[in-house]
């Protein structure tokens, strides 16, 4: 297996970012045990508490994975389920891997609840609160996807209000959309209207909209969509959004309400979030339709351009997810970037347009270091 751990530290706090992928050709049980024993050992050694966690696999093995995880974590499990996400079988088989964001702080995170279910964590630090919310859905709203999306955002807003925050506190969202190609435009309409009603969008220039990934991955619990988010409750200068950055214009211009990138205070320093990025030009048009290699190259070019704008180097990247539309696209990516040493997890799923074949998202921390177990 491969486990990549990146760390950023301040005087009293540390953050770690774990990306773990399984060994090929082992049984599911062996893959999962190996991954979670290694994650547990890192968390124990660094004394970090889990802040965010995501598991990517095919649907038929999710239950096995979560049961093994719970047994291995033991007292590390605070009762908050990881976000479990359904992807197609990829290069590692049915289990694509795990990403964990952990935080060491003098105070343990406070747990947030929705309908009696633990679903989020709050870290208080001076006059700031750092919030993660995982796997929020609106499945109770019925089968209609747009109604589920509306309720999903309402639930997230309610949870943030319990911490003293609001929608303006959100830095980053991850939005997991089942059957994305069937209703992405409708989803965008729901999100845009919700943001307008809350004042995050005022015309075409007054934009205070989070960075985001909206991707064709189904939540494991049967909802049409689910939401993860990272938020900061503090003075306004803790968050800075870049509606356009690098080689691309604002996605809002062509109907998607998210920013290209954001810089935010985080528990141990400053974190840069680069939204899900694909081969889209400055006019919002898909580039290199049908050309896998060119779309992959263009996507990396756009990512590097944003990072340059943020004064960020490749070694500052702490986590990355590579989304490929098909196993064939993933194979091309693996051949083209066989020597890629970044902390990435590769999954197979639909992208937001039928002609898009590839997407990348990046999280970076200025001054991050690779962590080596002692």
pLDDT, one tens digit per residue, over 267-315 is 999 999 999 999 999 999 999 999 999 999 999 999 999 999 999 999 9
Domain count, the chain: 1
Q: What average pLDDT does the segment 192-215 reach?
A: 93
Tokens 């919002």 belong to which residue?
Answer: 284
Predicted confidence at residue 373, as pLDDT, reads 63
Tell me the residue range of the domain where 262 lies.
2-368
Residue 2: predicted pLDDT? 95
Q: Is residue 121 part of a domain?
A: yes
Long-range pairs for 25-33 at CB < 8 Å and ≥24 separation? 25/93, 28/61, 28/64, 28/65, 28/93, 28/94, 28/95, 29/64, 29/68, 31/1, 31/92, 31/93, 31/95, 32/64, 32/65, 32/68, 32/69, 32/95, 33/68, 33/72
Place of tokens 């890192």: 42
Q: Confidence class of residue 53 from pLDDT cuts 50, 70 and 90?
A: very high
With respect to residue 315, please indicate whether it lies within any of the assigned structural domains. yes
Per-residue DSSP letter, 48: P
Asked if residue 374 has pLDDT above 80, the reply is no
**Using one digit for the tens of pLDDT, what is the confidence trace for 170-190?**
999 999 999 999 999 999 999
Residue 98 has pLDDT above 80, yes or no: yes
Say if 214 falls within a structural domain. Answer: yes
The reply to whether 374 falls in a domain is no
pLDDT digits (tens, 9 = 90+) for 308-354: 999 999 999 999 999 999 999 999 999 999 999 999 999 999 999 99
Answer whether residue 344 is part of any domain: yes
In the predicted structure, residue 236 carries a pLDDT above the cut 70: no
**pLDDT computed for residue 235 by the predictor:** 65
CATH of the domain at 138: 3.30.1330.40
């Amino acid at each position: 297996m491969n486990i990549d751990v990146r760390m950023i530290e301040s005087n009293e706090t540390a953050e770690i970012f774990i990306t773990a992928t399984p060994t090929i050709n082992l049984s599911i049980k062996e893959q999962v045990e190996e991954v979670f024993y290694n994650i547990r050992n890192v968390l124990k050694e660094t004394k970090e508490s889990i802040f965010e966690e995501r598991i990517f696999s095919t649907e038929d093995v999710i239950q096995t994975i979560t049961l093994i995880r719970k047994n291995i974590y033991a007292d590390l499990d605070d009762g908050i389920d990881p976000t479990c996400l359904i992807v197609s079988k990829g290069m590692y088989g049915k289990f694509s891997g795990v990403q964990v964001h952990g935080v060491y702080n003098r105070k343990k995170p406070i747990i947030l609840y929705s309908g009696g279910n633990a679903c989020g964590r709050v870290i208080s630090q001076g006059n700031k609160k750092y919030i993660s919310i995982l796997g929020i859905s609106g499945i109770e709203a019925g089968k209609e996807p747009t109604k589920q999306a509306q309720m999903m955002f309402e639930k997230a807003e309610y949870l943030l209000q319990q911490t003293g925050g609001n929608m303006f506190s959100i830095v980053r969202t991850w939005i997991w959309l089942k059957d994305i190609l069937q209703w992405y435009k409708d989803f965008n309409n729901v999100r845009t209207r919700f943001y307008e009603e809350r004042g995050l969008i005022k015309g075409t220039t007054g934009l205070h909209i989070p960075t985001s990934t909206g991707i064709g991955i189904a939540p494991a619990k049967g909802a049409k969509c689910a939401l993860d988010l990272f938020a900061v409750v503090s003075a306004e200068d803790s968050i800075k959004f870049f509606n356009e950055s690098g080689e691309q214009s604002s996605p809002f211009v062509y109907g998607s309400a998210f920013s290209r990138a954001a810089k935010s205070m985080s528990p141990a320093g400053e974190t840069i979030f680069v939204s899900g990025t694909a081969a889209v030009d400055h006019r919002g048009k898909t580039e290199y339709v049908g050309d896998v290699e060119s779309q992959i190259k263009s996507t990396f070019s756009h990512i590097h351009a944003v990072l340059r704008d943020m004064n960020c180097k490749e070694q500052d990247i702490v986590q990355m997810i590579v989304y490929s539309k098909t196993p064939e696209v993933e194979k091309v990516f693996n051949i083209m970037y066989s020597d890629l040493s970044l902390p990435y997890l590769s999954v197979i799923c639909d992208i937001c347009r039928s002609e898009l074949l590839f997407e990348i998202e990046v999280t970076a921390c200025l001054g991050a270091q690779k962590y080596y177990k002692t």
